[in-house]
Amino acid sequence: MIKRVGILTGGGDCPGLNAVIRAVAKSLILKYDIEVFGISDGFEGLIERRVRPLTFDDVSGILQRGGTILGASNKANPFRHAVKKGDDFEYRDVSDQVMAYIDELGLDALVSIGGDGTMAISSRLIKKGVPIVGVPKTIDNDLDGTDITFGYDTAVAVAAEAIDRIHTTAQSHHRVMLVEVMGRYSGWLALGAGIAGGADVILIPEIEFELDAICNYIMERSKIGRQFTIISVAEGAKSKGGEQVVQRKVEDSPDQIRLGGIAIKLGNEIEDKLGWETRATVLGHLQRGGSPTAFDRILATRYGVAAADCIKNKDFNKMVALHGNDIETVNIEDIGGKIRNVPEDSDLISGAESVGTSFGR
């Protein structure tokens, strides 16, 4: 029988994490009389032995709260644990230590909530014998195997509102305004926010842009009386034949690259070429904070309940996923570490182009 289950939230924080924790824990406690343990800061809690029981009261009143009551870490990896050695880092495989701790706690299964990195680690733990059920989380919406990850809708809403607000100052001062959003190596966030916010130009990693095409588009707009242009640009966007702009590197992180700065770079290039005044706004972590939208609260709850049902039914090593309007499951080992990009034939791209939006090509 399944008696004890651990929950962890890996990767970055995201609106809706608490809603999932709540749904998983309450379902396991109320429906199935299963004990629930919260693992602090993702896989770091298993490495550093920081786990605590979660009661019904612990997970009550957190549906609308952003972030995660368990904490998160986008650096912790049991198979590549960074240990500081002088000015450098030494990497160790501590997965056997983690396995021993899971046995010591008496955990019969784990609920792993996260994106592609979290699912990749989960996949490796599955091979070592840990029963896991995954829940897809990321504002970037770039996780393979599901139509939508929770957190994406909230991030799109935040970014779209920012673009709405940028419109008024762009019109007033006749400027080119660039709004840089997150998304890493996929363009779902910039695309969704750009369409919802009515951006004139949308730049995503999947379509390399050309500076001349953007500048020509800006000039064509000016000829018909549009003396401003709004550009929604993904942090991973790059020019044709160019490279993505790297803000910095984090040495002790599994994914060391931190993208950022493309809006500032591109804005300067447009200003130099056209002489138009440009301004760049980098939204950054604003997109990941705050209360989840109603859509994300509902989706997170559906995911959490489905994950609890998988635990009870011993349907392990699966990730719950949204396919159309239905919650289904996919094999974690099939999707861990994979990134879902925007297809170039996406109806979102063709639809945006149909209403006059440029993709810089």
Give CA–CA dist 241/5, Å, rounded: 49
For residue range 164-177, list pLDDT tens digits in order: 999 999 988 889 99
pLDDT bracket for residue 337 (50, 70, 90) = confident
Res 75: pLDDT: 83
Give CA–CA dist 304/282, Å, rounded: 32
For residue range 3-27, list pLDDT tens digits in order: 999 999 999 899 999 999 999 999 9
Q: What are phi and psi of 8, to 5 degrees?
A: -135, 150
Which residues carry out catalysis?
140
DSSP for residue 59: T
pLDDT bracket for residue 44 (50, 70, 90) = very high
Question: Is the pLDDT score of 255 beyond 90?
Answer: no
What is the percent of the chain where pLDDT is above 90? 87
The CA-to-CA distance between both ends of the chain, in Å, stands at 58
Question: Is the pLDDT score of 320 beyond 80?
Answer: yes
- H or E stretch covering 354: helix 347-354
Instruction: Compute how many other C-beta atoms are within 10 angstroms of the C-beta atom of residue 339.
Output: 14
Question: Is the pLDDT score of 252 beyond 80?
Answer: no
Give CA–CA dist 137/152, Å, rounded: 8
For residue range 60-95, list pLDDT tens digits in order: 999 999 999 999 988 899 999 988 888 788 889 999
Using a 10 angstrom Cβ sphere, with 0-12 exposed, 13-18 middle and 19 or more buried, the burial of residue 148 is middle
> Encoding tokens for residue 184?
């890493």
**Nearest 10 degrees: Cα torsion 290, 236, 258, 196:** -10
Mean pLDDT value of segment 238-249: 89
For residue range 267-318, list pLDDT tens digits in order: 999 999 999 999 999 999 899 999 999 999 999 999 999 999 999 999 999 9
What is the percent of the chain where pLDDT is above 70? 99
Q: Which domains does the chain have, with CATH numbers?
A: 4-150+292-335 (3.40.50.450), 155-288 (3.40.50.460)
Res 279: pLDDT: 95
pLDDT bracket for residue 248 (50, 70, 90) = confident
Instruction: Compute how many other C-beta atoms are within 10 angstroms of the C-beta atom of residue 170.
Output: 20
- H or E stretch covering 280: strand 278-282
Q: What are phi and psi of 152, to 5 degrees?
A: -65, -45
Least Cα distance to 219 among 201, 202, 206 occurs for 201
Res 341: pLDDT: 96
Least Cα distance to 44 among 83, 85, 2, 89 occurs for 83
Q: What is the mean pLDDT of the chain?
A: 95
Give CA–CA dist 289/68, Å, rounded: 10
Q: What are phi and psi of 359, to 5 degrees?
A: -110, 20
